[in-house]
C-alpha cells in the first residue's frame, strides 16, 4: 500500500514539472532597427506614413556681395579736374607772360604773375567743387585751398632736384673762344632741367595738397549711416 502511494506522488510531481504548452510560452524578443535611406519605406495599412527626418547638416549660405562704395571714383575725378584746372591756369599765365614780353607791357606781365599766384587756388576750387558731388561726405573749401598752397611749396624741392641733376653735369661756362658755345648749351640745359623740376614739384604738390586738404576735413552728410555712427 505504501509503495502504491509513493508511486502516485512521484507521478503527480512529474506532471507538475512538465513545461507549459508551446502556445503559452513567452514570445521571442523583437529587435528594432532604423531603416537606412536607400531602403523602401514599409507602409502598414491603416497607419499614416512617417515623414522622413530632416537633415541635421546646416544649409550653406551663398556669399554676400561686397557693398558698393558710392564714392569709389570720386578721388580720381577730383585729381583729374584739379589737373585740368592747373593746366588751364598755367597756360593762361604763360600766354600772358609771352604777350607781355612781345608787346613790352608791364600790365600783362603783372597780370600773368597774378594768374601764376592763383594757380593753387584754381586747383583747390576744382577739387572742392567735385567733392560737392559726393553722396556720403561734405567737404570744406577753405582747408582744400590751404592744402593746395601748402602743396605748391613742392616747387622748391623740384627746382633743387632739377638743379642737382641738370647743372652739376653741365660743362663749365667759364671757357672762352670755341668753348663758349658749349658753355651756353650747358646753361640752357641747366635752366631747362630746373624748369621741369619746378613744374613737376608744383603739379604733384598742389594736387596732393588740395586732395588731402579736402579728405582730412570732410564730414559725413546728415542722414547717412556714417553720420549716425559718429
Phi first, then psi: what are they for 138, rounded to 5°? -115, 125
Q: Report pLDDT digits (tens) over 36-62.
A: 555 555 555 555 666 666 666 656 666
- Does residue 93 form part of some domain? yes
| pTM of the predicted protein model | 0.63
3-class DSSP assignment, residue 45: coil
Q: Which of 62-71, 117-126, 191-200 has the highest mean pLDDT?
A: 117-126
Q: Report pLDDT digits (tens) over 81-129.
A: 999 999 999 999 999 999 998 988 899 999 999 999 999 999 999 999 9
All three cell numbers of 184, joined, read: 651756353
pLDDT at residue 35, rounded to an integer: 52
- Does residue 42 form part of some domain? no
pLDDT at residue 68, rounded to an integer: 66
Between 53 and 142, the higher pLDDT residue: 142
Alpha helices in the chain (DSSP H): 2-16, 74-103, 106-117, 119-131, 141-152, 155-166, 180-216, 225-229
- Does residue 12 form part of some domain? no
- Does residue 149 form part of some domain? yes
- Does residue 136 form part of some domain? yes
Question: Which of 30, 83, 27 is closest to 205 using CA atoms?
Answer: 83
pLDDT at residue 22, rounded to an integer: 47
Per-residue confidence band for 146, with pLDDT thresholds at 50, 70 and 90: very high
- Does residue 163 form part of some domain? yes
Q: How many Cα atoms are found within 13 Å in the side-chain-facing hemisphere of 195?
A: 7
Residues in the chain: 230
Q: Report pLDDT digits (tens) over 19-34.
A: 545 444 555 555 555 5
- Please state the domain count of the chain: 1
Per-residue confidence band for 173, with pLDDT thresholds at 50, 70 and 90: very low
- Does residue 24 form part of some domain? no
pLDDT at residue 99, rounded to an integer: 92
Q: Report pLDDT digits (tens) over 209-227.
A: 999 999 999 988 887 655 4
- Does residue 4 form part of some domain? no
pLDDT at residue 222, rounded to an integer: 80
Burial of 201 (0-12, 13-18, 19+ CB in 10 A): buried
pLDDT at residue 182, rounded to an integer: 56
CA 14 to chain centre: 99
Tell me the residue range of the domain where 130 lies: 74-224
Amino acid at each position: 500500500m505504501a509503495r502504491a502511494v509513493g508511486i502516485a506522488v512521484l507521478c503527480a510531481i512529474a506532471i507538475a514539472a512538465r513545461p507549459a504548452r508551446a502556445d503559452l510560452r513567452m514570445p521571442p524578443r523583437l529587435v528594432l532597427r532604423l531603416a537606412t535611406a536607400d531602403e523602401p519605406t514599409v507602409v502598414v495599412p491603416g497607419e499614416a506614413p512617417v515623414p522622413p527626418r530632416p537633415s541635421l547638416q546646416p544649409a550653406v549660405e551663398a556669399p554676400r556681395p561686397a557693398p558698393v562704395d558710392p564714392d569709389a571714383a570720386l578721388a580720381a575725378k577730383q585729381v583729374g579736374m584739379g589737373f585740368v584746372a592747373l593746366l588751364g591756369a598755367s597756360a593762361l599765365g604763360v600766354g600772358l607772360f609771352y604777350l607781355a614780353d612781345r608787346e613790352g607791357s608791364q600790365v600783362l606781365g603783372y597780370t600773368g604773375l597774378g594768374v601764376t599766384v592763383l594757380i593753387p587756388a584754381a586747383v583747390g576750387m576744382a577739387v572742392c567743387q567735385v567733392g560737392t558731388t559726393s553722396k556720403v561726405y561734405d567737404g570744406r573749401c577753405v582747408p582744400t585751398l590751404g592744402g593746395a598752397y601748402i602743396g605748391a611749396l613742392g616747387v622748391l624741392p623740384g627746382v633743387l632736384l632739377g638743379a642737382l641733376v641738370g647743372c652739376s653735369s653741365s660743362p663749365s661756362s667759364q671757357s672762352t673762344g670755341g668753348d663758349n658755345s658749349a658753355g651756353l648749351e650747358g646753361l640752357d640745359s641747366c635752366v631747362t632741367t630746373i624748369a621741369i623740376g619746378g613744374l613737376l614739384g608744383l603739379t604733384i604738390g598742389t594736387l596732393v595738397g588740395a586732395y588731402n586738404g579736402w579728405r582730412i576735413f570732410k564730414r559725413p552728410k546728415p542722414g547717412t549711416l556714417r553720420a549716425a555712427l559718429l
